[in-house]
């Protein structure tokens, strides 16, 4: 598998580029509007054709470039089917994996940060990779106080689904605010300060006490992302509106 982890510093978002060496088809997981040129350059450098963009959930801290990339490259938009977005070309679910050449991305329903959040699993000869979106971060997790989030639901998604994966499985989150890149199932299971050894009641109390500010970009990002990025005609104005950092964890 061809693989790149790409970082957008304003929202501290990781976008993941996965490519099939045989077919040269590729997928971008959680692409960001501001980094279109970077992502197109990476595809060109690696001689890959973008087949799909794939979202873990409807984001509140950045606007996706899915629609814009579709207009530029002819790629298709894949999104959790249960969100029912009319702009999506392909719906994914646990019984509807996404195949990109020889790559198979297996969705794992992990609600709690949002009510339709999905993690994506990729099995390779060297082991499992899990793209956990905002459900599980390094030493943390996504917030649960908007978009139909629910702390108890997130606790069960992480402990009963992600933490039951092989311990050496690699965890690639959608965000990190401390310049970290990767973790493992075993490390988060044993050391995550919000989740390791915690009861559901303790976790709910931890999440209730976070007292995070209202997300700066949510009023622009969520409506735009329900339209898959909405192919903005005035891209500079869109980028101006969504400026400013906004932590999701």
Percent of the chain having pLDDT more than 90? 88
**pLDDT recorded at residue 216:** 85
Alpha carbons 240 and 118: distance in angstroms, whole number: 29
How is 153-167 classified by DSSP, letter by letter? HHHHHHHHTGGGS-T
Give the mean pLDDT of 144-169. Answer: 97
100-104: long-range contacts, CB 8 A cutoff, minimum separation 24: 100/18, 100/20, 100/23, 100/25, 100/26, 100/27, 100/51, 100/52, 101/19, 101/20, 101/22, 101/23, 101/24, 101/25, 101/51, 102/20, 102/21, 102/22, 102/23, 103/1, 103/18, 103/19, 103/20, 103/27
Give the mean pLDDT of 237-249. Answer: 54
Q: Which one is predicted more confidently, 236 or 189? A: 189
Cα 83 to the center of its chain, rounded Å = 15
Collapsed DSSP state (helix, strand, coil) of residue 91: strand
Strand pairing partners for 53?
Answer: 28, 77
Beta strands (DSSP E) in 60-157 are: 76-80, 90-92, 98-100, 103-109, 118-124, 127-133
Q: Would the CA dihedral through 249, 64, 55, 37 be positive or negative?
A: negative
Note the pLDDT tens digit of each residue in 9-61: 999 999 999 999 999 999 999 999 999 999 999 999 999 999 999 999 999 99
Examine the pLDDT at 186 and tell me if it is beyond 60: yes
Note the pLDDT tens digit of each residue in 88-138: 999 999 999 999 999 999 999 999 999 999 999 999 999 999 999 999 999
Output phi, psi for 241, to 5 deg. -65, -30
- CATH topology (fold) of 2-235: Metallo-beta-lactamase; Chain A (3.60.15)
Collapsed DSSP state (helix, strand, coil) of residue 199: coil
pLDDT band at 240 (very low <50, low <70, confident <90, very high): low
Q: What is the largest CA-CA distance in the chain?
A: 49
Note the pLDDT tens digit of each residue in 209-222: 998 888 888 999 99
């Amino acid at each position: 598998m061809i693989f790149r982890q790409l970082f957008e510093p304003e929202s501290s978002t990781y976008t993941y580029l996965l490519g099939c060496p045989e077919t040269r088809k590729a997928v971008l997981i959680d692409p960001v509007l501001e980094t279109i040129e970077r992502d197109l350059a990476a595809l060109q450098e690696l001689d890959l054709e973008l087949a799909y963009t794939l979202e873990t959930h409807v984001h509140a801290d950045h606007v996706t470039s899915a629609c814009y990339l579709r207009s530029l490259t002819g790629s298709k938009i894949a999104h959790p089917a249960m969100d029912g977005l009319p702009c999506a070309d392909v719906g994914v679910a646990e019984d509807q994996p996404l195949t990109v050449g020889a790559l198979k991305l297996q969705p794992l329903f992990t609600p709690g940060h949002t009510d339709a959040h999905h993690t994506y699993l990729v099995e390779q000869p060297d082991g499992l990779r899990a793209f956990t979106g905002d459900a599980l971060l390094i030493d943390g997790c996504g917030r649960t106080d908007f978009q139909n989030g629910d702390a108890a639901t997130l606790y069960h998604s992480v402990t009963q689904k992600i933490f039951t994966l092989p311990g050496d499985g690699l965890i690639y989150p959608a965000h990190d605010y401390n310049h970290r890149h990767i973790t493992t199932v075993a490390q988060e299971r044993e050391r995550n300060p919000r989740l390791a050894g915690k009861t559901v009641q303790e976790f709910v109390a931890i999440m209730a006490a976070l007292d995070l500010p209202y997300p700066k970009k949510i009023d622009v990002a969520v409506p735009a992302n329900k339209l898959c990025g909405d192919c903005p005609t005035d891209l500079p104005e869109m980028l101006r509106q969504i400026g400013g950092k906004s932590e999701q964890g």
